[in-house]
């Protein structure tokens, strides 16, 4: 799986409605056949920062994503909505989805 975490800092005028601004991109990405998850969160430490956690089946699915029209459209328009360049961690991991946490067990 390609596991990706990206941190976004929207411009002040987009902070409160950022997920609305990216809703079309989010929906299109979630509909990609190789997408496993695409989840937005807001940082508790910095409420003006959004965190995107993404999973793609494999490198081919990741390539399909970054060459899609909705990705190209998002990349072209994002700088106008952001106050800084997003920060990313992207890594191929040996997993096929979420697993249970070993340290905590709920019956």
Band (74; pLDDT cuts 50, 70, 90): very high
Task: Give me the half-sphere count of Cα atoms (radius 13 Å) on the Cβ side of residue 28.
Answer: 15
Q: Which CATH class is domain 1-55+85-95?
A: alpha beta
For the chain, count helices (H), then strands (E): 4, 4
For residue range 78-96, list pLDDT tens digits in order: 999 999 999 999 999 999 9
The Cβ of residue 4 has, within 10 Å, a number of other Cβ atoms equal to 17
The whole-number pLDDT of residue 6 equals: 98
E strands, the chain, where?
A: 2-8, 35-42, 50-56, 87-92
For residue range 29-61, list pLDDT tens digits in order: 999 999 999 999 999 999 999 999 999 999 999
The whole-number pLDDT of residue 78 equals: 97
The whole-number pLDDT of residue 93 equals: 97
pTM of the predicted protein model: 0.94
């Amino acid at each position: 799986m390609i596991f990706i975490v990206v941190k976004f800092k929207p411009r002040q005028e987009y902070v409160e409605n950022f997920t609305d601004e990216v809703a079309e991109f989010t929906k299109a990405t979630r509909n990609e056949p190789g997408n496993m998850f695409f989840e937005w969160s807001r940082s508790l430490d910095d409420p003006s920062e959004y965190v995107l956690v993404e999973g793609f089946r494999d490198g081919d699915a990741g390539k399909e994503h970054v060459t899609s029209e909705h990705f190209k459209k998002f990349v072209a328009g994002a700088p106008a909505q952001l106050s800084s360049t997003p920060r990313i961690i992207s890594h191929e991991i040996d997993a096929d989805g979420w697993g249970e946490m070993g340290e905590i067990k709920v019956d």
